[in-house]
Amino acid sequence: MIDMNAIYTISEKLVTRTIEDELLIIPIEDGLTENQDDIFSLNDTGYSTWQLIDGKNSVNDIITALVDVYNAPVETIKQDVLSLLTELEAKNMIVKRSSTKD
């Protein structure tokens, strides 16, 4: 479960590439991809979330920023962000750095 006060960073074991309007995230191990099936892609809103995972913004901060950018209901953005972060964390693509309550 994602902590709303958590601050995440992007794993150092990744390479990213932007192709057209899509961000590709490629896990690496000693310079080689582990498995072609591990390549993960993000659309525009996912990419916006990815950019805010910088080791400074809490999950709450990310949600607030995206609500402003996309002018969407808070609950919709919250569900989308939490879903994405849960998936990224499960794939070890992001790492919890700290919590604003720590």
Range scoring the smallest mean pLDDT among 12-21, 51-60, 64-73, 79-88: 12-21
Residue type, 91: K
User: Which secondary structure element, helix H or strand E, spans residue 39, and what is its range?
Assistant: none
Q: What is the pLDDT of residue 82?
A: 97
C-alpha distances (whole Å) from 26 to each of 2, 3, 10, 54, 78 are 23, 25, 12, 18, 25
Query: Under 8 Å CB-to-CB from 52, ≥6 apart: which residues?
Result: 61, 62, 65, 66
Six-digit token string for 11: 């794993």
